[in-house]
Structure 1
Amino acid sequence: MSLVSDNSQERQKIADYVVANIEKALENGWVKVYYQPVVRALTGQLCGAESLARWIDPEMGFLSPDKFIGALEESRQIHKLDCWIVKKVCSDISERIHNGLDAVPVSINFSRLDLEATDMLKVLEDAVDEYDIPRDYIHVEITESMIVSDAELMSGMIERFRSTGYEVWMDDFGSGYSSLTVLKDYHFDTLKLDMSFLRSFDDKSKAIITSTVIMAKEIDIMTLAEGVETQEQVEFLKNIGCGRLQGYYYGKPMPINDFFDHIKESKIEIEKRQWRHFYDVASFHARRTDEPLAIFEDNNGVFRTLFMNEVYKTQAFGSSYDMETIDAKVFHSRSSFNAQLMKFVDTVKQSKNLETFYFTVDGSILCLKGKEIAENSGSHIYISSIRNISADSNIEKSNSLAFRLKEINHMFDTVAQINPSNNTIIPLVGKFRYMRNIPTDGMRLNSYVQKFKKDYIALADEKKFDVFCDLSTLASRVQSSFKGYVENMFRIKQVDGNYEWKGLSFMLIPGTEGKEFLMCTKSTPDDTHSILNKIQELYNREDYGLKSDNSQMYAKMWENTVIASHLKFFWKDKNRKFMGASKAFLDFYGFTIDDILGKDDEDMGWHIDGKAYRDDEIAVLTNGAVISGVPGYCIVKGVVHNIICFKTPIYDGNEIIGLMGYFFDVDEEMARIDKLYNVKRTDTITGCMNKKGFLDVLIDYSQNYHNLGRDYALIILRNMKHARVMADYGEDFIEKLLHRMGQEILKVTKDKCAVARMIQSEFALLLYTDKQSEVDELCSQLKEAIESIRELDGNKMTLKVSISAMLRSDKEATDENMYHKVLERIQQ
């Protein structure tokens, strides 16, 4: 009894001390913020941290949270501690960001008493603004008990935090009695699973955790497991799709410098801000399922497996492997599966749709399905399923088509199942040869037939192809053939750019009542090409007014074009060596024909980006690519010229023997167009005016002020965080943001203003008005509209708008200095 009494007295002594000294402890730095790592399950990268308070007292020594949190809550002083933690966390993050060091989002625990005692959102917003950090570096943690104790207060606060741009997490989910009701009535971004589930790591707790993770994803909530201590727990949580992991397995709570030293010593990579949403999407799609499921990352051509369940491994490989073995087997080998997968990935990347491909490996027929779910800076995340049709327990039911695909795969280059009545096409075999660049709105049979003709059929065969592929007569033609199929020969362009004779056939699928067919291409006997190539050229000269007996006329036509055209023509042999050039070409460079004959671009050394031009020409000569409207640069007499280039293959029969091209100088063309039309005044990124267009309009406004007495206002606004967004997310993203900003500005101004993007994230507006109040109101609306952009393509951001304006009638304003006067106010 005395021991209990002594412990009680000691706790009361500490509590009294805490209550009396909290402000002194905060002022003197006795309270510290410790950080515990949060790691992304799929990648093993550090993706966040939780902030936790520790009290290291000169008199009482080290005080753990259970020694002082309760005392502060009972004395209703907990808000003093939590407000201090908010500022300290923001300060720590700011110091790292502004010193060019890695930083990660940090979660901060709030108490219900915090929200009753003060406006914690204002406290947080003030700290974020003072230390100049983006909002997405702070997550707010609240407990289920807080909601139960005051549902009305918490409902409003959760919505305020989330609408302002902060994620709200529920801490210790599952520790209370009304969690499901809370999830129904409130929206959280992440659930933190109560660590008690992991302490009793038995079958029952595993089942509860699995069900919770599945349920959370069904209602669009991410998951984080606390208390992770063992490799077994890590593997289990990864396999069920838990997104983030936290616990002593990755590190205990520690001061910030020790925290990052520990991360470095543990060789844990740190997730960059640019990739948070990218991996959030991947994490959300990883889940426990009885269906085959895999998630792959394509990092600019470097592949790795992020997630693969046991069912997928069994279907794809016949047995289970670890991730390292899978990546070595699939991505780092020359296996047939690797080759098939790379082709499949290429199509998925281009189409952006769910794609299906059938192929054979070791005598088995496999059905592979996949879709891109995230893309960022050239990297992609794909979700995939696979099924071994040959091993399907219901193989008898699918026997009619599945097993026949084995033999069809060896007989034909490509096979697709078509249904003209509902305008569908489903690729079965060899899809990747002729089905590239599929439109994002899906695959329709009629559009595919036209695309196939345009991209692959020789011009001379197009009319015959149109008749053969007339879908309205297909059924009757197949029926009247008495063979169950119709076929014909066409010259089809191959990967190397040359044309080969191929057999194209339509076969009726039995049992479909004449509604479904197989559309197939197949190779021809070896001597077919030499025989047929002699019969006809790739195009019909007559279609263009050309006749065989007019060869002398054609020669004169080309001779005059070479001499008189302002376009710079040139032609090269199979090895990219110059064979000739037009007068405009030679005059442009100041050469004679002898200066270039037998030389390639590298010999001449006139291109700034020689690799791009070389790659284009190799593509023309090796696969028949047609290069159209490619911008580039070249140096002529020390001056850099912007040029636009076009190149096409030269065919002799069906074979490429060289290339012909031409280019024009952009500045020359613009000067020529300027004589007839005004220079284009639109900013291509935002759709607003560009700088030149704005200056032209500004002259009009100025003239109307002097001649008609119409006063006007100049407004300049700038996103002061342009550089930060650019550094974190890249140029492609910043262009999307600029476009969004332009749209928001136009939405606010509603055609009342002339709007232009001047440079980076700086916009200028002109408004006819003589009322300062109208200008002030518009400025306020514009600032609010731009700063309300807190997310784009799933990526979080915090924009800060500086905006200023001046009326032309202002005594300080002149035509010459008005823009600079407003700009000075912006920069202040």
Structure 2
Amino acid sequence: MPLASDNSQERKKIAKYVVANIEKALENDWVKVYYQPVVRALTGQLCGAESLARWIDPEMGFLSPDKFIGALEESRQIHKLDCWIVKKVCSDISERIHNGLDAIPVSINFSRLDLEATDMLKVLEDAVDEYDIPRDYIHVEITESMIVSDAEMMSGMIERFRSTGYEVWMDDFGSGYSSLTVLKDYHFDTLKLDMSFLRSFDDKSKAIITSTVIMAKEIDVMTLAEGVETKEQVEFLKNIGCGRLQGYYYGKPMPIDDFFDHIKNCGIDIEKRQWRHFYDVASFSARRTDEPLAIIENNNGVFRTLFMNEIYKTQAFGRSYDQEMIDQKVLNSNSPLNTQLKKFADTIEHSRNLETFYFTVDGNILCLKGKEIAENAGSHIYISSIRNISSDANIEKRNSLDFRLKEINHMFDTVAQINPSNNTIIPLVGKFRYMRDVSSDGMDLNTYTQKFKEEYIALADAKKFDVFCDWSTLNSRIENNSKGYVECMFRIKQSDGNYEWKGLSLMQIPGTEGKEFLMCTKPTPDDTGIILQKIQQLYNPEDYGLEASDSQMYASMWERTVASSHLKFFWKDKNRRFLGASKAFLDFYGFTIDDILGKDDEDMGWHTDGKTYRDDELDVLSKGTVVSGVPGYCIVKGVVHNIICFKTPIYDGNKITGLMGYFFDVDEEMARINKLYNVKRTDTVTGCMNKKGFLDALIDYSQNYHNLGRDFALIILRDTKHARVVADYGEDFIKKLLHRMGQEILNVTKDKCAVARMIQSEFALLLYTDNQSEVDELCLQLKEAIESIRELDGNKMTLKVSTSYMFRSDESATDENMYPMVLDRLQQ
């Protein structure tokens, strides 16, 4: 009894001390923020942390949370601690980001008393702004009891936090009595499962946790299990699809430097911001089900399984192989199967539909179905199911056409079922691999064959292809062929632009009375292409009046064309280095041939948008793309010229060995055709004007100011976080964001303003007005509209917009200095 009394007295003494010294403790850094790791179950990567307070007092020593949290709540001072934690966490994150170190999202616990005592959203927004961090680095944790105590207030607060761009997590889910009602009435981003469920870890607790995870995913809420302490618990939670894990198994709460040292020493990778949504989608799709299910990642051609349930394993192999062995046998084998799987993956990525693939492993005939659910920076996530058809008791299914064709994908690239009398074609294997924009459900047979011929069959083989696809003679040709089918070899253009010899065959489907056929495409023997490319070109020279006996004359014609044609053309090798150019080309730039030989465009430095031309040429050389009518700019003797460029691959036999191109100067052409050609003025990324269009518009506005006295304002706005978005999410993503920003600006301005994107995330606007209040209001609307973009393709962001403007009537303004002066104001 005396011991209990002593403990009670000691707690009261500590509580009194805490209440009296909280402000002093915060000022003197006696309170510390500790971080506990949160790990993504699918990847094992660090994906976040929870912030927790610890009080290390010079007089009282180490105080655990249970010694001071309650005392601060009873004295209604808890908000002082939590406001300090908000600033400290934001400061820690900011320091790591701005020092180029890995940073992770951090969850912060809020109390109901916090929300009653102060505006915690403002506190959070002020800290995020002060330390310049994106909102998605902070998650807000609240407890179920907070909602029960004041449902109306909490409903409004949850909505405010989420609409501003913060995730709201429900902590200690299941510890109270009204959890299901809370889930029905409020929207949370994540449920943190109460650690007490895991303590017993018996069948009953497992069933409760499993049901909770399933339920959460059904209502579009992610899950996190805290209190994870053993490998057995980790494996169980992974298998039921729990998204994130937290507990002593991964680490206790630690100061920030110790925290990251611990993560490094444990060999745990840190998830980058760019990949959060990508793996969120994968995590959300992993779930407990009675159907075979796997989540597969294709990282630029390297496959790995992130999640696979036991039913998937046993369905595939009849026994429970481990996940690594299955990956090795199926996804990463060195057999022809791996090549076919990569083609299947390519089909999935282009169709975005559920696709089917048949293959065999260990004597089992398997039917694999897959669909892409996420893509980022060349990596893809597929959701997959599998069936072992060998053990399928359904006789009709085993005798179906799909089943009979189960092995055909090992022999053929594509197999299609055609019915010439009905003019239909339906893909069975490989889908419409050569034409991505065709519906996988089937199409018009005649249209398909014509389109296929025009886009993929080498010109020299076009007439032969017409004969091969003469459906009126197909039955008689098959009947007269001793093999029972007809086949021919054609050069077919591949995704890399090179032509490969492929065998095409047409065979009757038994039992269809000569109405239905299989059209199959298969690779030829390894040496076929080498033999055939020595004796034929991709086109027939005689179709163009070119005879081999006239080769000397053709050489003279070419020399004359190079020397006298007005076309500015050139040719390059496989590495984009100049091999030669026409006289008109050299004269245009004022070069001699020695100035360009062996150099690429980057060496020359003559394009203002070199990336566009480089990417186009890489497509020509790697895919055989024909580039036609691409606008751009080049610099000639300090003058920017608008040009239109055309490029095509050069083939030696079937292989691309270089490229040939030509361009014309738009201004020259406009003068030559009496200004019938209109220079492109639109920014292809945003749909707004480009710089050329803006300068033309600025001239018009200035002329109207001088001639008609119409005043106007030049407004410049810029997202100051452009570089951060590019660094975190990449160039492809920023183009999508810029397009969205352009649309938001056009929605605000409607038809009142001329709008252009100048560079990066910088936009310029011209508005006829002399009303400062109108411009101020417009700038505010633009800022709010763009900063309201807080998510794109599932990726979170925090944009910061700066605006500045100037009237043409300002005393210091001239036509020439308006833009630089507004820029100066913007940067102040």
The answer to whether TM tops 0.5 is yes
> Would you say the 8 A contact 1:609–1:632 is kept in 2?
no
| Equivalent of 2:433 in 412, 432, 435 | 435
> Would you say the 8 A contact 2:571–2:661 is kept in 1?
no
Distance apart, 1:415 and its partner CA: 2.3
- For 1:358 and 1:150, the matched residues in 2 are separated by 57
Partner of 1:825: 825
Q: Could you list the per-position Cα deviations for residues 524-544 of structure 1 after superposition, in whole angstroms to 9, with x for gaps in the alignment?
A: 999999999999997678976
For residues 319-468 of structure 1, the aligned pairs below 5 Å read: 319-330=319-330, 332-395=332-395, 397-402=397-402, 404-405=404-405, 414-417=414-417, 425-428=426-429, 431=430, 435-439=433-437, 442-446=440-444, 448-459=448-459, 462=462
- For 1:336 and 1:522, the matched residues in 2 are separated by 13
- For 2:768 and 2:571, the matched residues in 1 are separated by 57
- For 2:176 and 2:574, the matched residues in 1 are separated by 76
- For 2:588 and 2:380, the matched residues in 1 are separated by 43
- For 1:205 and 1:53, the matched residues in 2 are separated by 30
> Would you say the 8 A contact 1:571–1:659 is kept in 2?
no
Moved more, 702-711 or 346-355: 346-355
Is the partner of 2:242 in helix, strand or coil?
A: coil
- For 1:550 and 1:460, the matched residues in 2 are separated by 20
Distance apart, 1:286 and its partner CA: 1.6
Is the partner of 1:68 in helix, strand or coil?
A: helix
Partner of 2:104: 104
Q: Does 1:491 find its partner at 2:490?
A: yes
Q: Could you list the per-position Cα deviations for residues 601-649 of structure 1 after superposition, in whole angstroms to 9, with x for gaps in the alignment?
A: 9x94566589x9999999999x994654599999999999999563445
Partner of 1:504: 505
Distance apart, 1:690 and its partner CA: 2.2
> Would you say the 8 A contact 2:712–2:807 is kept in 1?
yes
Partner of 1:238: 238
- For 2:82 and 2:760, the matched residues in 1 are separated by 39
Q: Could you list the per-position Cα deviations for residues 405-438 of structure 1 after superposition, in whole angstroms to 9, with x for gaps in the alignment?
A: 257568866422457869662323xx28x72352
> Would you say the 8 A contact 2:500–2:654 is kept in 1?
no
Q: Which ranges of structure 2 fall in alignment gaps of 5 or more residues?
A: 605-610
Q: Could you list the per-position Cα deviations for residues 168-217 of structure 1 after superposition, in whole angstroms to 9, with x for gaps in the alignment?
A: 00111111222122111111111111111111111111122112112211
Question: Kindly tell me: are residues 412 and 236 of structure 1, through their superposed partners in 2, closer, same or farther at Cα, counting changes over 3 Å?
Answer: closer
- For 1:808 and 1:69, the matched residues in 2 are separated by 60
Question: Kindly tell me: are residues 174 and 451 of structure 1, through their superposed partners in 2, closer, same or farther at Cα, counting changes over 3 Å?
Answer: farther
- For 2:338 and 2:137, the matched residues in 1 are separated by 40
Q: Return the letter of the residue paired with 1:105.
A: P
Q: Return the letter of the residue paired with 2:490.
A: R
Question: Kindly tell me: are residues 523 and 754 of structure 1, through their superposed partners in 2, closer, same or farther at Cα, counting changes over 3 Å?
Answer: closer
- For 2:649 and 2:771, the matched residues in 1 are separated by 61
For residues 127-526 of structure 1, the aligned pairs below 5 Å read: 127-330=127-330, 332-395=332-395, 397-402=397-402, 404-405=404-405, 414-417=414-417, 425-428=426-429, 431=430, 435-439=433-437, 442-446=440-444, 448-459=448-459, 462=462, 489=488, 491-493=490-492, 502-505=503-506, 507-508=508-509, 510=511, 517-521=517-521
Question: Kindly tell me: are residues 120 and 475 of structure 1, through their superposed partners in 2, closer, same or farther at Cα, counting changes over 3 Å?
Answer: farther
Distance apart, 1:55 and its partner CA: 1.6
Partner of 2:687: 687
Partner of 1:121: 121
- For 2:576 and 2:816, the matched residues in 1 are separated by 55
RMSD over equivalenced CA pairs, Å? 4.6
Question: Kindly tell me: are residues 824 and 585 of structure 1, through their superposed partners in 2, closer, same or farther at Cα, counting changes over 3 Å?
Answer: closer
Partner of 2:647: 646
Normalised to the residue count of structure 1, the TM-score between the two structures is 0.85
For residues 789-800 of structure 1, the aligned pairs below 5 Å read: 789-800=789-800
> Would you say the 8 A contact 2:296–2:303 is kept in 1?
yes
Partner of 1:663: 661
- For 1:694 and 1:586, the matched residues in 2 are separated by 31
Distance apart, 1:164 and its partner CA: 0.2
For residues 78-97 of structure 1, the aligned pairs below 5 Å read: 78-97=78-97
Normalised to the residue count of structure 2, the TM-score between the two structures is 0.85
> Would you say the 8 A contact 1:478–1:484 is kept in 2?
no
Q: Return the letter of the residue paired with 1:290.
A: D
Aligned length in residues: 811
- For 1:383 and 1:238, the matched residues in 2 are separated by 16
Q: Return the letter of the residue paired with 1:112.
A: R
Distance apart, 1:156 and its partner CA: 0.8
Partner of 1:18: 18
Moved more, 273-282 or 339-348: 339-348
- For 1:12 and 1:657, the matched residues in 2 are separated by 85
- For 1:484 and 1:76, the matched residues in 2 are separated by 91
- For 1:696 and 1:620, the matched residues in 2 are separated by 33
> Would you say the 8 A contact 2:574–2:659 is kept in 1?
no
Distance apart, 1:589 and its partner CA: 10
Moved more, 538-547 or 677-686: 538-547
Partner of 1:711: 711
> Would you say the 8 A contact 1:568–1:662 is kept in 2?
no
Question: Kindly tell me: are residues 12 and 745 of structure 1, through their superposed partners in 2, closer, same or farther at Cα, counting changes over 3 Å?
Answer: same
> Would you say the 8 A contact 1:195–1:227 is kept in 2?
yes
Is the partner of 2:765 in helix, strand or coil?
A: strand
- For 1:312 and 1:35, the matched residues in 2 are separated by 37
Question: Kindly tell me: are residues 584 and 756 of structure 1, through their superposed partners in 2, closer, same or farther at Cα, counting changes over 3 Å?
Answer: closer
Q: Return the letter of the residue paired with 1:696.
A: D
Distance apart, 1:383 and its partner CA: 2.4
> Would you say the 8 A contact 2:533–2:654 is kept in 1?
no
- For 1:704 and 1:305, the matched residues in 2 are separated by 65
- For 1:39 and 1:396, the matched residues in 2 are separated by 47
- For 1:474 and 1:226, the matched residues in 2 are separated by 71
Distance apart, 1:557 and its partner CA: 6.9
Is the partner of 2:680 in helix, strand or coil?
A: coil
Is the partner of 1:435 in helix, strand or coil?
A: coil
Is the partner of 1:505 in helix, strand or coil?
A: strand
For residues 668-817 of structure 1, the aligned pairs below 5 Å read: 668=665, 672-673=669-670, 676=675, 677=677, 679-817=679-817
Question: Kindly tell me: are residues 318 and 340 of structure 1, through their superposed partners in 2, closer, same or farther at Cα, counting changes over 3 Å?
Answer: farther
Question: Kindly tell me: are residues 673 and 460 of structure 1, through their superposed partners in 2, closer, same or farther at Cα, counting changes over 3 Å?
Answer: same
Is the partner of 1:493 in helix, strand or coil?
A: strand
Q: Does 1:55 find its partner at 2:27?
A: no
Q: Return the letter of the residue paired with 1:792.
A: L
Q: Could you list the per-position Cα deviations for residues 719-739 of structure 1 after superposition, in whole angstroms to 9, with x for gaps in the alignment?
A: 111122122222222222222
> Would you say the 8 A contact 1:36–1:51 is kept in 2?
yes
Moved more, 756-765 or 287-296: 287-296
> Would you say the 8 A contact 2:167–2:189 is kept in 1?
yes
Moved more, 318-327 or 416-425: 416-425
Q: Could you list the per-position Cα deviations for residues 743-765 of structure 1 after superposition, in whole angstroms to 9, with x for gaps in the alignment?
A: 11111000100111222222111
- For 1:342 and 1:578, the matched residues in 2 are separated by 35
Question: Kindly tell me: are residues 143 and 616 of structure 1, through their superposed partners in 2, closer, same or farther at Cα, counting changes over 3 Å?
Answer: closer
- For 1:480 and 1:325, the matched residues in 2 are separated by 48
Q: Return the letter of the residue paired with 1:232.
A: E
Distance apart, 1:591 and its partner CA: 11
Distance apart, 1:129 and its partner CA: 1.1
Moved more, 201-210 or 371-380: 371-380
Question: Kindly tell me: are residues 820 and 557 of structure 1, through their superposed partners in 2, closer, same or farther at Cα, counting changes over 3 Å?
Answer: closer
Question: Kindly tell me: are residues 778 and 84 of structure 1, through their superposed partners in 2, closer, same or farther at Cα, counting changes over 3 Å?
Answer: same
Is the partner of 1:384 in helix, strand or coil?
A: strand
Is the partner of 1:83 in helix, strand or coil?
A: helix
> Would you say the 8 A contact 2:666–2:679 is kept in 1?
no
- For 1:268 and 1:381, the matched residues in 2 are separated by 22
Distance apart, 1:293 and its partner CA: 2.1
Q: Could you list the per-position Cα deviations for residues 219-270 of structure 1 after superposition, in whole angstroms to 9, with x for gaps in the alignment?
A: 2111111001111111111121111110001111111121112112222111
Question: Kindly tell me: are residues 670 and 179 of structure 1, through their superposed partners in 2, closer, same or farther at Cα, counting changes over 3 Å?
Answer: farther
Partner of 1:43: 43
Is the partner of 2:776 in helix, strand or coil?
A: helix
